């Protein structure tokens, strides 16, 4: 291996992409982001706390960022901020979709605390993970460029410094999942930059995994039953207004049996109309409510 050639390649890649990488700093969170266009910054939704945050530019200048649009379940957000002449990294074309074995460089400015750049390769594609509110995000790719906490929102780039993905989900030690910055992501990001947030239907509940639900019911002498055990209900949520309570076991919605939370999310995403019939068990007794999702 020619180590000098590798060093020169990585250095050139960093020089091409790093000027557009920024830090995201807040009272309770720290992350990274990229300049999307003059006055616009792209980051992960989970990096934000509230409508305003601080964007730390490459030179260390701190500017206020105001939320323009967010897709919380897709873990993307666009901020308005005075980025001055900070350049935007180039996005790779659709034909540059990551493939296993592709060398990559991951970049970050965690909370604005200096640039981090690591080298690795794409180790898996078509991965999925859970977004901030538990929805499955599909189509991610995994890479081996190790990054410290606070690197979410920074770019993964190819050897030419073109952005292939947005680091989003840390997998233990040494691996990261990234959302590919393909044409579909770019379209969604442009909508967010125009001020159009993505809102998906949701009941407003937290649920226990199926195996936990079965174990808890068995522990209190109730028969085991597939379904979603409600662990929390948000105030003034559709579920709360319909009378769904903590401890309920939701077994069916819209005439469809529910076994996993993904069953519920898929149902809500494909629902035609704003009314949903929900059936379940409250202890040993059955119940049925109609949830208004409007």
User: Is residue 141 domain-shared with residue 223, that is, in the same domain?
Assistant: no
Residue 242 and residue 286 in one domain: yes
Distance CA 135, CA 264 (A): 10
In angstroms, rounded to a whole number, what is the distance separating the alpha carbons of residues 219 and 197? Answer: 43
Do 183 and 227 have their domain in common?
no
CATH number of domain containing 274: 2.30.42.10
Closest CA to 160 of 14, 5, 2, 7: 14
pLDDT at position 20: 96
Do 70 and 116 share a structural domain?
yes
Is there a single domain that holds both residue 140 and residue 217? no
Q: Are residues 55 and 108 in the same domain?
A: yes
pLDDT of residue 94: 67
Residue 158 sits in the same domain as residue 98: yes
DSSP conformational letter for 90: P
Same domain? For 9 and 98 the reply is yes
Task: Examine the domain organization and report whether 183 and 261 are in the same domain.
Answer: no
- Output the domain CATH number for residue 10: 2.40.10.120
Residues known to be catalytic: 46, 75, 152
122 and 219 part of one domain: no
Domain limits for position 184: 1-199
> In sequence order, what E strands does the chain have?
21-25, 30-37, 40-43, 52-56, 62-71, 76-80, 103-108, 116-130, 136-143, 155-157, 163-171, 175-180, 205-208, 228-233, 249-253, 256-257, 275-282, 285-292
Q: Quick one: pLDDT at residue 32? A: 96
CA distance 153 to 110: 9
Contact status, residue 113 vs residue 98, Cβ threshold 8 Å: no
Question: How do the pLDDT tens digits run along the chain, 294 residues long?
Answer: 678 887 888 888 889 999 999 999 976 668 999 999 999 999 999 999 776 799 999 999 999 999 999 999 999 999 999 999 999 999 987 667 799 999 999 999 999 889 999 999 999 999 999 888 888 899 999 999 998 889 999 999 999 999 999 999 988 777 899 999 999 899 999 999 999 887 888 899 999 877 788 888 888 888 778 889 999 999 889 999 999 999 899 999 999 999 888 899 889 988 888 889 999 999 889 999 999 988
Domain count across the chain: 2
- In this structure, are 61 and 177 located in the same domain? yes
Query: Cβ distance 244 to 289 under 8 Å?
Result: yes
Judge whether 109 and 154 are in contact, CB under 8 Å.
Answer: yes
What was the pLDDT predicted at 226?
Answer: 85
Domain final residue, candidates 175, 199, 223: 199
Q: What is d(CA 168, CA 177) in angstroms, rounded to the nearest whole number?
A: 6
Out of 170, 199, 228, a domain closes at 199
pLDDT on residue 31: 94
Which of 164, 183, 199 marks a domain boundary?
199
Supply the DSSP symbol for 46. Answer: G
Half-sphere exposure of 237 (CA within 13 A, CB side): 16
Do both 191 and 210 map to the same domain?
Answer: no
């Amino acid at each position: 291996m020619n180590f000098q050639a590798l060093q020169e390649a990585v250095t050139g890649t960093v020089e091409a992409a790093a000027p557009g990488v920024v830090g995201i700093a807040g009272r309770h969170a720290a992350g990274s982001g990229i300049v999307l266009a003059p006055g616009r910054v792209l980051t992960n939704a989970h990096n934000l706390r509230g409508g305003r945050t601080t964007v730390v530019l490459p030179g260390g200048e701190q500017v206020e960022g105001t939320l323009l649009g967010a897709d919380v379940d897709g873990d993307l957000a666009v901020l308005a901020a005075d980025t001055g002449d900070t350049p935007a990294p180039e996005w790779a074309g659709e034909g540059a979709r990551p493939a296993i074995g592709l060398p990559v460089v991951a970049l970050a400015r965690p909370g604005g605390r200096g640039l981090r750049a690591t080298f690795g390769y794409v180790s898996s594609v078509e991965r999925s993970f859970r977004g901030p509110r538990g929805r499955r995000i599909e189509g991610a790719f995994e890479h081996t460029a190790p990054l410290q906490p606070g690197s979410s929102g920074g770019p993964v780039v190819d050897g030419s410094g073109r952005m292939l993905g947005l680091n989003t989900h840390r997998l233990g030690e040494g691996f990261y999942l990234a959302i590919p910055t393909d044409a579909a992501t770019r379209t969604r990001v442009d909508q967010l930059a125009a001020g159009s947030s993505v809102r998906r239907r949701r009941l407003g509940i937290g649920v226990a995994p199926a195996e936990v639900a079965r174990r808890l019911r068995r522990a209190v002498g109730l028969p085991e039953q597939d379904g979603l055990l409600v662990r929390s209900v948000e105030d003034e949520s559709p579920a709360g207004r319909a009378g769904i309570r903590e401890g309920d076991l939701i077994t069916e919605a819209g005439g469809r049996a529910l076994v996993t939370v993904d069953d519920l999310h898929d149902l809500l995403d494909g629902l035609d109309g704003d009314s949903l019939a929900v059936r379940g068990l409250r202890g040993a007794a059955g119940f049925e409510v109609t949830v208004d999702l409007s």
